[in-house]
A and B are shown apart, each in its own frame.
Chain A
Amino acid sequence: MSRILGIDLGTTNSLIAAMENGAPRVIADPATGETLLESVVAIAPDGAVHVGSSAIEMEPHLSVEKNGRVSAVGFPGGEYGAVIRSVKRYMGLGGGEVAPEDRSRYTFADLSGPVVRFQIGKRTFTPPQISAEILKALKERAERALNEKVERVVITVPAYFNDGQRQATKDAGRLAGLEVVRLVNEPTAASLAYGLNKTAEGNVAVYDLGGGTFDISILSIKEGIFEVLATNGDTHLGGDDIDNALVDLLLAELPEQLKHDRHVWNSARRVAEDAKKRLSEAADVDLALELPGHPIRKKLTRAELEKIAQPLVERTLKRCKLALGDARLAAKDVSAIVLVGGATRMPIVRERVAQLFGRESLCSINPDEVVALGAAVQASVLMGTQGDMLLLDVVPLSLGIETMGGVMERLIHRNTTIPTSVTENFTTAVDKQTHVDIHVLQGERELAGDCRSLARFKLGPIEPQPAGLPRIAVTFLIDANGILNVSARDERTGREHSLDVKPSYGLNDEEIERMLEEAIDLGEQDLEQRLLITARNDAEQILVALRKQLGEFPRLIDSRERAQLEEVAERLEVARQKDDRQLISKLVEDLNELSTPFAGRIMNVAIKQALEKKSVEELS
């Protein structure tokens, strides 16, 4: 069986990681060296799909025409493409559940059905389909880097994701041709990365402020057992919200209609995001946004940014206190704090978190990478190669059923360790009743109407009997992924009932099958074919570069080294014309390694020349 890899499918960035020699490592794109893949998907008018930086290049941006008009340009020659960011905010939501601020960002086909659908040209796409494109890009990146098939993965999700959001993430994996062996909560994954080398032990709080979501988890780490005591969070609170508030500030003086222009907004968001990042280091920054007739110039100080961020940070601290209460711990009982997510780089976040817990946080592992690294550790636990390490996670939200009068009866409480199950007996209310309807809910509110509908199913057919006589035991089981499974058994006959559980939101099996058949990318080639093309391109690149260097710097290489290089280059030239991808990749690697000393010498010369040139300029 192939090995299992770890994926952090983030709101802003996504990563893939693997264990190597007992340590988790993020896999970089062999062509670019990039480890982060921006979670941005562009679908061009012709159906071609771009992911990451090439998708960002497609993003419509503002262009000023000669007559002074501002217009948006994006996909060359077409208006039907779309660039989708932060698709995670839409995962697992029914149309009616999309947050008001997320409704105006894209064109939706339907905001009333059980699944959100983006309208792109004449076609519609669900969030799992878009996420699947990100997963495919990561899979392909890892396959190129590792030279092996990637079939099985662990994917991380926000701890506070509900059943529907988790199911949607699994669906995305399936659509990407991956077996999702396990969903792991992001903060828990981070604790695995820190706990692996015992950096964190005892009671540990993981504070995870990402682009779109906030999670806090409190764990007890003891002798390799990572036991989550409590988790809390907000799936719609993150660094994005700070960016959005900055955009409002930036556009405050614009005329209303410009303010709501999607392209103006997107451009302003980029400026805002950049300013926020720079203010982690600088005390103040200059903001500039070129809109003809309305040039915007502003100075933003760190104090102003902090005033904007303050209420959001307070909201996260409130969640922290709730989690501590559920874990029955005081802030002082926490012996280590782990920070996760890019937004925790903001000084105000660090200060306020340190104040709450009365100690400084751990941040020795890159907060952008720690979740993916933890996912790789969990993958190795699942492969049985991580000794005694074991993760005991919890379900973030209570699960129950609707009872008479529309009241939610809690069957499984939030923060119960998973897997867990509860069996409930059902009977009939009237004579000869043949079916019992059951409505499953998730949430913490008292009334069914205030909780999230999870699924509905019918028990039956039940043999006609007097009311109250039938006894049907229904088992609600939450598996280690935090996903509900239901089974039923007739207590009198001992017979298993088959159940047709209809999820209230999300995709059903037939829809996923259909999506699998009609892949998004109309021009998509078979993966092997694509990998071969990439390998050939890599080969051509290195051959061209090498010939150029040999021509320009003949004196930097001796004849023996030259002969060696030319021999391997010759073999690569021959392999490039054929179909053996593995051989091509191996030769590219060999040639790369062999030419490293030569490239180093060229670099030295170039630096020396640049320095000399500079000193000449300074003299004159």
Chain B
Amino acid sequence: MIECPSCGRRQEPRLVCQDCGAPVGADLDCFAALGLPRKLVIDSSALERVYHDLSRKIHPDRFAQSSPRVRTASLHSTALLTRGYRTLRDPVARGLYWLELNGEKLADNNKSVPPDLAELVFEVQDELAELRGDGAASEYRDRAVRRRAELEAATNALNGDLTANFARWDAGAADAKTLAAELKSTLSKIAYLRTLLRDVDRELENLKAA
């Protein structure tokens, strides 16, 4: 139980007081901070609406003239709300957070290349090396641009896998261990593709600057 610093009402930990609507200052997980059930499938525009509505209620700008205790609760609650929103808004961050809630995490900073991506990773690295060596050759540049589009398409496909995995969690379609393994594999591949995309972009940007 926690006491609302504005009206004194004792209640279960929540973001806003059930009586006066002021920030309570309780510690909450990302879902609880936004008042959402623990479900992985989230409608992004509804999420934004909830975030904006709650911000209007508890943001420090609303309590600039309140007592220090209320201001602290507002600051603390808004920080939790912001963290919750940012985590849940991005499917990858949401997936990683879900693993954490389930006592799992991506293996050791995700250092080993996922086996089915290994070949692709080496290919792209080689191509980038050639591009760095002879950026003037338009064939290398064109290949990098094509590669970029390919990587983007692959990422989109993986995002689709992620959405499917989320729906399976919510439906209880398999046991947690199986679903977590699936989720980890997809997230790890997405992380790798993102790194590759960033590398390609950086090289193309360098070319443009030169």
Contact = CB atoms under 8 A, between A and B. Distances in A.
Interface in B163-208: none
Contact of B55 (A378, A382, A392): A392
A383 B56 contact: no
Interface in A334-358: none
Contact of B52 (A223, A378, A418): A223
Contacts of B62: 384, 390
A225 B55 contact: yes
Interface in A360-409: 378, 381-384, 388, 390-392
B83 interface: yes
B83 A1 contact: no
A225 B59 CA distance: 12
Interface string B44-65: 0000000010011001111011
B86 A416 contact: yes
A177 interface: no
A63 B78 CA distance: 60
B18 interface: no
Interface in B69-84: 75-76, 78-80, 82-83
A119 interface: no
A388 B56 contact: yes
Contacts of A422: 83
A391 B56 CA distance: 9
Contacts of A381: 61
A182 B64 contact: yes
A223 B49 CA distance: 10
B84 to A, nearest CB: 11
B79 A477 contact: yes
Interface centre among A382, A390, A419 (most CB of B within 10 A): A419
A267 interface: no
B60 A390 contact: no
A227 B79 CA distance: 15
Contacts of B75: 419, 477, 479-480
A308 interface: no
Contact of B83 (A181, A382, A420): A420
Contact of A382 (B64, B79, B80): B64
Nearest to B75: A419
Contact of A181 (B55, B64, B80): B64
A417 B60 contact: no
Nearest to A382: B64
B79 A421 contact: yes
The interface size bin for chain B is 10 to 19
A378 B52 CA distance: 18
Interface string B82-101: 11011000000000000000
A343 to B, nearest CB: 24
A479 B60 contact: yes
Nearest to A413: B86
Contacts of A392: 55, 59
A392 B86 CA distance: 13
Contacts of B61: 182, 378, 381-382, 390-391, 480
A441 B86 CA distance: 22
Contacts of B80: 421
A477 B78 CA distance: 11
B116 to A, nearest CB: 27
Interface in A246-292: none
Contacts of B82: 416-420
A383 B65 contact: yes
Interface string B112-151: 0000000000000000000000000000000000000000
Contacts of A225: 52, 55-56
Interface centre among B55, B76, B79 (most CB of A within 10 A): B79
B202 to A, nearest CB: 12
Nearest to B77: A419
Contact of A480 (B60, B65, B86): B60
B91 to A, nearest CB: 13
Contacts of A418: 82
Contact of A390 (B55, B76, B86): B55
A417 to B, nearest CB: 5
A135 to B, nearest CB: 19
A419 B25 CA distance: 13
Interface string A412-430: 0000111111100000000
A480 B59 CA distance: 9
A419 B78 contact: yes
A420 B76 CA distance: 8
Contacts of A480: 59-61, 75, 78
A203 to B, nearest CB: 14
Contacts of B78: 419, 480
B205 to A, nearest CB: 9
A420 B82 CA distance: 6
Contacts of A388: 56
B83 A421 contact: yes
A381 B60 CA distance: 11
A381 B61 CA distance: 7
Interface in A415-458: 416-422
Nearest 10 A-B pairs (CB), nearest first? Answer: A421-B79, A382-B64, A419-B79, A480-B60, A417-B82, A420-B82, A225-B52, A419-B78, A420-B79, A419-B75
Given A227-B52, A417-B82, 8 more contacts: A378-B61, A384-B64, A390-B62, A392-B59, A419-B75, A421-B79, A479-B60, A480-B61
Interface of B: 52, 55-56, 59-62, 64-65, 75-76, 78-80, 82-83, 85-86
12 contacts: A182-B64, A223-B52, A227-B52, A382-B65, A384-B64, A390-B62, A392-B55, A417-B82, A421-B79, A421-B80, A477-B76, A480-B59
